[in-house]
């Protein structure tokens, strides 16, 4: 079956089943193109919280589908491939968080959305890269703050807010692999380009040293900025799936990935064929234990309400 035929089949199935497809900006181009909404974790969480669809097909990784299931306990949430996980989420467990809470009974736990439901259940508030700074600024800085699990995002938040936190030493294997060398070479080859960098990237403050006017932005922030900018050439430091969305949303502009091999294999596990099977056979239903979901819901809703 040709992909164009498969895409049409998916469109018809969506209508028949009152389903909505949510896709992250790192997904394959053809997957983004059949989605009803494409965006970052925060934007997709907001859509999931308000959808009238009976079925949510999440073209993303497992923690995203879990979040949608927590926000929609009476709806069917599907993920087309159960193995679509997250290397960053795997760096921390609920046991790790509970140990910190036991040692800091007056502490506040800020959990990046890239975490399991069990970790979210122990958090005071969740964040995404789009609103992490705003969330931390809203907290009581006189009390200990545990920021988890991305150390580079945590360092960025500390740098911007001036608030010292306990930061977990986790990283995304894709963003952690984007370093000074690739950035320096790309910037030297395109000196007039604007530089947009995701705060999960490993170079941190050294990237800002290489190009002081660099913009540290979430994936959705990159799209919004590129659309509004008068500039026509951009160097992009994040997972390369975002380039397809940037090209669609800001046509006529040039987007240059810092590292062509910055590919999340987990995101790319989702294919049109798997989305089709998911809609036909309800593959695979994502459910969260009721007690864990109840405990995590407050932290997720707090994330959605800020920034």
Average pLDDT over residues 1-20: 87
Residue 262 lies in a domain: no
Binding site as annotated, residues for [4Fe-4S] cluster: 86, 172, 264
Binding site as annotated, residues for iminosuccinate: 24, 41, 112-114, 129, 198-200, 219
Residue 141 lies in a domain: yes
Stated pTM of the model: 0.93
Q: Which domain holds residue 162?
A: 89-171+295-305
Q: For position 181, what pLDDT does the model report?
A: 84
Q: For position 199, what pLDDT does the model report?
A: 92
Mean pLDDT score across all residues of the chain: 94
Same domain, 81 and 93: no
pLDDT in tens, 77-135: 999 999 999 999 999 999 999 999 999 999 999 999 999 999 999 999 999 999 999 99
Return all residues near 257 (Cβ < 8 A) that are at least 6 apart: 236, 237, 240, 243
Same domain, 198 and 134: no
pLDDT in tens, 222-269: 999 999 999 999 999 999 999 999 999 999 999 999 999 999 999 999
The span from the CA of 56 to the CA of 271, in Å, is 16
The domain total for the chain is 3
- Looking at 173-187, 260-274, 287-301, which range is the least confident one? 173-187
CATH number of the domain where residue 197 is located: 3.40.50.10800
pLDDT in tens, 56-79: 999 999 999 999 999 999 999 999
Same domain, 62 and 94: no
| Tokens describing residue 205 | 């403050």
Binding site as annotated, residues: 24, 41, 86, 112-114, 129, 172, 198-200, 219, 264
Same domain, 154 and 300: yes
């Amino acid at each position: 079956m040709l992909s164009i035929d498969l895409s049409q089949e998916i469109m018809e199935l969506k209508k028949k089943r009152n389903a909505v497809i949510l896709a992250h900006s790192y997904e394959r181009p053809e997957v983004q193109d059949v989605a009803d909404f494409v965006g970052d974790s925060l934007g997709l969480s907001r859509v999931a919280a308000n959808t009238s669809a009976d079925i949510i097909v999440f073209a993303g990784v497992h923690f995203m589908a879990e979040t949608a299931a927590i926000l929609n306990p009476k709806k069917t949430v599907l993920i087309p491939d159960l193995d679509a996980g997250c290397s960053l989420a795997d760096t921390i467990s609920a046991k790790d968080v509970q140990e910190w809470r036991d040692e800091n009974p007056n502490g506040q736990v800020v959990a990046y959305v890239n975490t399991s439901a069990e970790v979210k259940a122990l958090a005071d508030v969740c964040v995404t890269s789009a609103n992490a700074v705003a969330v931390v600024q809203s907290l009581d800085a006189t009390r200990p703050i545990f920021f988890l699990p991305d150390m580079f995002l945590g360092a960025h938040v500390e740098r911007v807010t001036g608030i010292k936190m306990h930061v977990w030493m986790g990283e995304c294997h894709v963003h952690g692999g984007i370093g000074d060398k690739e950035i320096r070479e790309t910037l030297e080859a395109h000196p007039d380009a604007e530089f947009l960098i995701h705060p999960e990237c490993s170079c941190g403050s050294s990237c800002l040293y290489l190009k002081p006017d660099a913009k540290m932005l979430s994936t959705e922030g990159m799209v919004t900025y590129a659309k509004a900018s008068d500039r026509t050439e951009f160097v992009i430091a994040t997972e390369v799936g975002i380039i397809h969305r940037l090209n669609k949303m800001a046509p006529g502009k040039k987007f240059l990935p810092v590292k062509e091999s910055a590919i999340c294999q987990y995101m790319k596990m989702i294919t049109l064929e798997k989305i089709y099977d998911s809609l036909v056979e309800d593959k695979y239903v994502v459910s969260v234990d009721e007690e864990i979901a109840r405990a995590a819901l407050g932290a997720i809703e707090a994330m959605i309400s800020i920034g």
